[in-house]
Amino acid sequence: MSDAINRRWVHIAYEETSAFTEVYGFVGSRGTVNLEGVLLEPREPRSRTVFLMMHPSSTLQLLPLPSALAQAGHAVMCMGSRYAKNDTPLIFEKVALDLGACVRAAKEQYGYDKVVLLGWSGGGSLSLFYQSQAEKPTITQTPAGDAVDLTAAGLIPADGVILEAAHRSRAQCLADWIDPSVIDEHNPDRREPEFDLYSPGLAVRPPYPADWLAAYRAAQLRRVRRITAYVEETLETLRRRGGAEVERGLLTHRTMAEPRFLDASIDPNGRPIGSCYMGVPEAVNSGPVGLARYSTLRAWLSQWSIEHSRADGEKCAAGMSVPLLAIEHGADDAVPQPDVGLMYHACASADKTFHCIESAGHYFKGQPEQLAQAVGLIGDWTQRHGW
């Protein structure tokens, strides 16, 4: 029952210096980072372990999983990063600092003995990125060359990591989803007909031929790299000028042209075909809200560039040693089917467990049984570890 849960507003603040303010308002006040979230706790008995959830750019407390876990007797802290609901300027290295502040607060301020990172969706690669840097920090600057020293940040490693319907990385998602038909970034109506996925005149239809699909993927990667080259060139131009202009905004058209949403034979699972987690793929592709639609130059390198972004779940999993629970959703309409398994197999921990919840969609929408399975898997795993 919902009245068996205490919900507390959480505010975590810490000092940070920055060359310029990245985000609007109080959360990005110059010199101080302010993070907000909600702590869900069962009234009785009090758990000594907390599941810490953070997504790079979203808030998570309204998802069904946190409340269901709390109703089952678990404590859940849902925290937003400094970029909550605005990923335009998002720098992953700084999100790692935000998550580190929350891990520290969970232990030192809120008195939890164990902190388990519960990485849902985009929070999965974030959790693995954080954990790998907390265990063996190496990063001292962003991909754009700005100082962000994770080696001196005193990041506290989490005691365990859970992946729930998690993708490998934001950069990999963009590389898989971006529309390769666009040949002019300033005029999205100039397109290459061979790769115009939604055109009635496209010569191929699902199931797409393997050679065409390989050429399509290669064209997607070329487009991402063209944008990255533009970003690097522009940043270098601004540096050479030496003035007060140090950053610019970037608009990227058409970023939802993923063939797997139209072709059930690509990474097959139980997802509905002709739709995706954001709605109708063709509408999302050209709409104002889409993956990487708006970005700063620095944010592009940190979160969207396939060569530069460090928050790659598969690579980061190889750099962590704590217990891992990986849960795939069998009908995920957002995360590619192989992703959870790839991160699970890459994980260096000797203590790792994998489960697939058959027919589960990305959000458990209208799926109380599948939601209950997830809660049971997490509870059993936690109990086995004595947490």
Q: What is the DSSP string of 295-357?
A: EEHHHIIIII-TTT----HHHHHTT--S-EEEEEETT-SSS-TTHHHHHHHH---SSEEEEEE
Q: Which residue has the higher pLDDT, 273 or 16?
A: 273
Query: Where does a domain end: 256, 287, 304?
Result: 304
pLDDT at 24 over 90: no
Binned at pLDDT 50, 70 and 90, residue 160 comes out as very high
The pLDDT of residue 248 is above 60: yes
Query: What are the structure tokens assigned to 266, written together?
Result: 């690509």
Q: In the predicted model, what is the mean pLDDT of residues 203-221?
A: 98
Percentage, residues of the chain above pLDDT 70 = 96
Mean pLDDT of 250-259: 98
Q: pLDDT at residue 368 above 70?
A: yes
Residue 245 pLDDT > 80, yes or no?
Answer: yes
Same domain, residue pair 156 and 207: no
What tens digit of pLDDT does each residue of 293-333 get?
999 999 999 999 999 999 999 999 999 999 999 999 999 99
pLDDT given for residue 25 in this prediction: 55
When pLDDT is averaged across residues 236-257 and rounded to a whole number, the result is: 96
Last residue of a domain, one of 304, 324, 347: 304
User: Do 108 and 245 belong to one domain?
Assistant: no
pTM of the model: 0.96
**Binning pLDDT at 50, 70 and 90, where does residue 31 land?**
confident
State the DSSP string of 1-24. -GGGEEEEEEEEEEE---SS--SS
CATH number of the domain to which 131 belongs: 3.40.50.1820
- What is the phi/psi pair of residue 12, to 5°? -125, 125
Domain, as residue range, for 204: 173-304
CA 205 to centroid of chain Cα atoms = 31
Do 202 and 328 lie in a common domain?
no
The band of 26, judged by pLDDT with boundaries at 50, 70 and 90, is low
| 3-class secondary-structure state, position 44 | coil
- What's the CA gap between 191 and 175, in Å, rounded? 17
pLDDT band of residue 286 (cuts 50, 70, 90) is very high
Q: How many domains does the chain have?
A: 2
Same structural domain, 245 and 288: yes
88/191 same-domain check: no
The CA-to-CA distance between both ends of the chain, in Å, stands at 23
Mean predicted confidence (pLDDT) in 8-33:
77
Asked if residue 244 and residue 150 are part of one domain, the reply reads no
Say if residue 206 is in the same domain as residue 133.
no
Residues 6+ apart with CB under 8 A from 166: 119, 120, 121, 122, 123, 124, 125, 127, 313, 326, 335, 339, 340, 343
What is the pLDDT at residue 240? Answer: 97
Fill in the amino acid letter for 382. Answer: T
Tell me what pLDDT residue 43 has. Answer: 86
The domain boundary, picked from 274, 304, 334, lies at 304
Residue 204 has pLDDT above 90, yes or no: yes
